[in-house]
Amino acid sequence: MTQQPFSRPGAIDLSGLGKQPAPQAGAPAGTSTSRSTGTTAGGGLSYTVVVDEQSFQGLLEQSITAPVLLAFYSRTRMPESGQLADDLATVVEEHDGRYLLGLVDIDAAPQIAQAMQIPSIPLVVAVVDGRPMPLLQDPLPIDELRTALTQVGQQLTAQGITGRHQPRSSAPPAAEGEEEVVDPRYAPAQDALAAGDIDRAVAEYQKLVDSNPADVEAVGGLAIAKVMQRTQGVDLAQARAAAAENPDDVDAQTMVADLDMLGGHVDDAFNRLVNLVARTADPDRSRARDHLLGLFAAVGNDDPRVLAGRRNLASALF
């Protein structure tokens, strides 16, 4: 079953993305190289660029490093779409390189809109590893945009896609043959994941969370890394068989819930543990509940599936 990260129509579904991390760094946005992404927008914004025909292909190439967002708008035809583009630029900057935003004025660059077969505006498209997918199709308040991009970031982290774009002012582009600069905050955990050292990744993410509990990427990375840690070397078929034979065994049920999470079946994981809570008593009930709360944290408290899961948990408890 396909899981939708948002309930909003036209939202991006990240469940089909590959499990391997994207490359950890890339050419800084807006640099004058063969992969230039265009002119920096907003008089100094590091992660937002104005897109034209010449820079469009280079911008798409940046999606190999980390996700690229394309915002299609027209201030003359629909002022609300222009406001959405402005708000999106503000929110993207707050994510410190998690996304690179390309602003596409369809009046100034109609060929790009035609090539992308844009049906209407506003439209925000996410491009990951060169694959475009619709993200937003309606004007949204800036707070809802923040929630949406936070949820997308959590989904990407869960898929192992943790790359970041480098700001224009942070460093010059690496010369050919030189190693690109990575975000030093996440490099140790990312390197550990790339090496298959899940225990070290958990430890590195834990350091980040301890130093900054508000770091959404670190919190999401830690939660998913812990799921990966618990499921290392587990045979899926055997785990499911054990859970089927022992429906009230907390260890068996939580293991399958973890495996469902890694497979993108978030609702299945939540429902399994809600049902376990409903038919067990303390201390097993407390263990199942606490495990479920940990999975809620991994997905994000603003996710509609978590909100529904919390309501179902409350019903099971009371």
Looking at residue 132, its pLDDT comes to 86
E strand or H helix that includes residue 152: helix 142-158
**Whether 194 and 107 share a structural domain:** no
**Whether 126 and 268 share a structural domain:** no
Looking at residue 54, its pLDDT comes to 82
* Residue (of 36, 64, 34) closest to 49 by Cα position: 36
Please state the pTM of the whole predicted model.
Answer: 0.47
**Whether 42 and 118 share a structural domain:** yes
**Whether 83 and 39 share a structural domain:** yes
The predicted-structure confidence for 58-103, as pLDDT tens digits, reads as follows 888 788 778 999 999 999 999 999 999 999 999 998 887 889 999 9
Give me the residue label for tokens 């994941």.
193
Report how far Cα 197 is from the mean position of its chain's Cα atoms. Answer: 22
Mean pLDDT across 290-305: 81
**Whether 169 and 284 share a structural domain:** no
**Is the pLDDT confidence value at 244 over 80?**
yes
Using CA atoms in the order 123, 124, 129, 132, what is the torsion angle rounded to 10 degrees? -20
Return d(Cα 143, Cα 135) in angstroms, integer: 16
Give me the residue label for tokens 């497979």.
263
**Whether 211 and 134 share a structural domain:** no
Residue 198 in tokens = 């899940």
Return d(Cα 120, Cα 102) in angstroms, integer: 17
Kindly report the CATH number assigned to the domain that includes residue 267: 1.25.40.10
- Helix, strand, coil percentages for the chain (3-state, nearest 5): 50, 10, 40
**Whether 274 and 151 share a structural domain:** no
**68 neighbors 62 (Cβ within 8 angstroms):** yes
Return d(Cα 146, Cα 152) in angstroms, integer: 10
User: How many domains is the chain partitioned into structurally?
Assistant: 3
Burial label, 277 (beta-carbon count in 10 A; 0-12, 13-18, 19+): buried
**198 neighbors 228 (Cβ within 8 angstroms):** yes
Looking at residue 183, its pLDDT comes to 59
Using CA atoms in the order 195, 199, 204, 207, what is the torsion angle rounded to 10 degrees? 180
**92 neighbors 99 (Cβ within 8 angstroms):** yes
Percent of the chain predicted with pLDDT > 70: 79
Mark which of 195, 212, 230 sits at the end of a domain. 230
pLDDT interval class at 104 (50, 70, 90): very high
Looking at residue 5, its pLDDT comes to 30
Residue 142 in tokens = 């800036």
Give me the residue label for tokens 């409903």.
278
**Whether 119 and 171 share a structural domain:** yes
Kindly report the CATH number assigned to the domain that includes residue 129: 3.40.30.10
The predicted-structure confidence for 171-227, as pLDDT tens digits, reads as follows 344 444 444 445 578 788 878 877 788 899 899 989 988 888 777 778 777 888 888
**Whether 4 and 127 share a structural domain:** yes
Which of 156-160, 181-185, 219-223, 281-285 shows the lowest per-residue confidence on average (mean pLDDT)? 181-185
* Residue (of 280, 236, 284, 279) closest to 258 by Cα position: 236
**Whether 130 and 27 share a structural domain:** yes
**Whether 203 and 147 share a structural domain:** no
Expressed as residue numbers, the domain containing 271 is 236-317
**Whether 94 and 132 share a structural domain:** yes
Looking at residue 167, its pLDDT comes to 62
